[in-house]
């Protein structure tokens, strides 16, 4: 059986996959182009995919009738046309749970970096600018007694809430069936943890940003297109809101250029799950899902549409 891995993964996962069949790993240090991806999957029984791979009907067709499972090494699976694959009897799996804490840690880290001006202070020192301690120097704002609004109360949202409670924050939630407006009006911090779906694309647009407090900040560690990035840049430039901490971008890997100029924005390059431990667990879980399907068992983490 041929197993295609679209980008390098931790060795432990390859060891597991090699026990099942012939494993091809992309040698490229970049995402495969759509054409390269279609070529790579020819004859595959399983594909281990990354969140930057668009897996649609054309990829399934290119693989041929032997394709049984696409194991995405991510909790999000907006890059996969699940109905098109399901129609062809191809299982789709993701990697939930193993990245919950790592992602919540990064979200909270962005929040602290923003409200306590950590990245900005680091830039100041590296620019070798003169400075001295004084009582009004580089004041941020405290999190204690502030309200965190969690949009998307899943596992990562709840892990974020737990961290916030430890810091003395109040937490409010908004899920799929609650109007987000109430949360936007009261939250001092709005943190996004909903998956990207047609219903959440541009959930945070100009109108939503207008509802936020001028003192509020936005944290996004889910998927870039949940936020209208141009509208966010407008809101930050006009001080409609106080700041943003962003790990994901609407047109990844590109970043809206105006955001790069702003000191009240902290940016990281999609590092939510990026710890040695978590990435290893994610790759192993994807391999476990491939093993399950190719040995005739039920997938461990099937996704449904
Ligand atoms: C990362 O963004 C993931 O969905 O796992
Ligand atoms: C992800 O696992 C989530 O439900 O937030």
**pLDDT over 90 for what percent of the chain?**
98
What pLDDT shows up at residue 181?
97
Catalogue the long-range contacts made by 263-266 (C-beta closer than 8 Å, 24 or more residues apart): 263/120, 263/123, 264/114, 264/236, 265/114, 265/236, 266/110, 266/113, 266/114, 266/118, 266/119
DSSP string, the chain: -EEEESS---HHHHHHHHTTSEEEE---SSPPPHHHHHHHTTT-SEEEE-TTS-B-HHHHHHH-TT--EEEESSS--TTB-HHHHHHTT-EEE---STTHHHHHHHHHHHHHHHHTTHHHHHHHHHTT------TTTT-----TT-EEEEES-SHHHHHHHHHHHHTT-EEEEE-TTS-SHHHHHH-SEEEE-PPP-TTTTTSB-HHHHHHS-TT-EEEE-S-GGGB-HHHHHHHHHTTSSSEEEES--TBTTB--HHHHT-TTEEE-SS-TT-SHHHHHHHHHHHHHHHHHHHTTS--SSB---
Domain 2-98+276-294 matches domain 100-267 at the CATH topology level? yes
The tokens 């890059």 sit on which residue?
Answer: 79
**Residue with CA closest to ligand 1 atom 5:** 74
Pocket residues: Cβ below 6 A from ligand 2: 75, 96, 100, 154-157, 193
> Between the CA of residue 27 and those of 4, 6, 16, 40, 298, what are the distances in Å?
11, 9, 19, 11, 30
CB 9 within 8 A of CB 25: yes
Q: Whose CA is nearest to atom 3 of ligand 1?
A: 74
Atom of ligand 1 nearest to the CA of 95: 5
- HSE of 283 in the Cβ direction (CA atoms, 13 Å)? 19
103 falls in which pLDDT band (50, 70, 90)?
very high
Number of the ligand 2 atom closest to the C-alpha atom of 156: 5
The pLDDT assigned to 124 comes to 97
Residues 6+ apart with CB under 8 A from 87: none
- Output the CA 154–ligand 2 centroid distance in Å: 5
What separation in Å is there between the alpha carbon of 209 and the centre of ligand 1?
Answer: 25
Q: Would strands 170-174 and 189-192 be described as parallel, antiparallel, or unpaired?
A: unpaired
In 3D, which of 63, 69, 72 has the Cα closest to residue 90? Answer: 69
pLDDT given for residue 179 in this prediction: 87
For residue 30, the model assigns a pLDDT of: 98
Instruction: Indicate the angle between helix axes 100-115 and 155-166, nearest 10 degrees.
Output: 50
What whole-number distance in Å separates Cα of residue 289 and Cα of residue 305?
18
Q: How confident is the model at residue 229 (pLDDT cuts 50, 70, 90)?
A: very high
pLDDT at 176: 86
Residue 124 Cα to ligand 1 middle (Å) = 32
Q: Is the CB of 272 under 6 A from ligand 1?
A: yes
Cβ atoms of 183 and 172 closer than 8 Å:
yes
The per-residue pLDDT for 160 is 98
Per-residue pLDDT reduced to its tens digit, 136-165: 999 999 999 999 999 999 999 999 999 999
Is the distance from the beta carbon of residue 51 to the nearest atom of ligand 1 less than 6 Å? Answer: yes
Write the pLDDT tens digit of every residue in 64-88: 999 999 999 999 999 999 999 999 9
* CA 162 to chain centroid: 19
Catalytic residues: 223, 252, 270
Check pocket membership of 76 for ligand 1, CB cut-off 6 A. yes
Ordered by start, the domain boundaries in the chain are 2-98+276-294, 100-267
Give residue 304's pLDDT. 86
Looking at the CA of residue 76, tell me the nearest atom of ligand 1.
4
CATH number for the domain running over 2-98+276-294? 3.40.50.720
Q: What is the mean pLDDT of residues 181-210?
A: 98
Instruction: Indicate the average pLDDT of the chain.
Output: 98
Please give the model's pTM, rounded to 2 decimal places.
0.96
pLDDT of residue 177: 85
User: Which one of the ligands is nearest to 301 CA?
Assistant: 2
- Confirm if 252 and 52 have CB atoms less than 8 A apart: yes
> Which listed CATH number (1.10.1760.20, 3.40.50.720, 3.30.450.40, 2.130.10.10) goes with 100-267?
3.40.50.720
Residue 295: the pLDDT is 98
| 143 touches ligand 1 (CB under 6 Å) | no
pLDDT of 305 strictly over 90: no
For ligand 1, is residue 99 a contact (CB within 6 Å)? yes
- Say yes or no: CB of residue 285 within 6 Å of ligand 1: no
User: What's the 76 CA to ligand 1 centre distance in angstroms?
Assistant: 5
48 has pLDDT over 80: yes
Q: Name residue, tokens 């990829």.
A: 59
Compute φ and ψ for 177, nearest 5 degrees: -105, 5
Interface ipTM above 0.90: no
User: Which tens digits make up the pLDDT trace of 258-304?
Assistant: 999 999 999 999 999 999 999 999 999 999 999 999 999 999 999 98
């Amino acid at each position: 059986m041929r197993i295609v891995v679209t980008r390098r993964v931790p060795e432990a996962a390859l060891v597991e996959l090699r026990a099942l069949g012939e494993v091809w790993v992309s040698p490229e240090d970049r995402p495969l182009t759509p054409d390269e991806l279609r070529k790579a999957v020819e004859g595959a029984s399983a594909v281990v995919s990354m969140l930057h791979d668009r897996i649609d009907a054309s990829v399934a067709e290119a693989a041929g009738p032997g394709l049984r499972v696409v194991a995405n090494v991510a909790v999000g699976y907006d890059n996969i046309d699940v109905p098109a694959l399901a129609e062809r009897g191809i299982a789709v799996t993701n990697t939930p749970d193993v990245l919950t804490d790592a992602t919540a840690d990064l979200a909270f880290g962005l929040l602290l970096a923003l409200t306590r001006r950590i990245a900005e202070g680091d830039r100041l020192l590296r620019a070798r600018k003169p400075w001295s301690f004084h009582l009004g120097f580089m004041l941020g704002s405290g999190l204690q007694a502030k309200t965190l609004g969690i949009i998307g109360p899943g596992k990562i949202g709840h892990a974020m809430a737990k961290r916030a409670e430890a810091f003395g924050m109040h937490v409010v939630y908004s899920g799929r069936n609650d109007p987000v407006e109430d949360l936007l009006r009261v939250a001092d911090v709005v943190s996004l943890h909903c998956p990207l779906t047609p219903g959440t694309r541009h959930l945070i647009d100009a109108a939503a940003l207008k509802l936020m407090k001028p003192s509020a900040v936005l944290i996004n560690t889910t998927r870039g297109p949940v936020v209208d990035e141009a509208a966010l840049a407008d809101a930050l430039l006009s001080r409609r809101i106080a700041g943003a901490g962003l790990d994901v971008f609407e047109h990844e890997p590109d970043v809206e250029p105006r955001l790069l100029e702003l000191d009240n924005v902290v940016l990281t390059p999609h590092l939510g799950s990026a710890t040695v431990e978590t990435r290893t667990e994610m790759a192993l879980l994807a391999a476990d899902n491939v093993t399950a399907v190719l040995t005739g068992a039920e997938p461990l983490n099937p996704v449904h549409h």
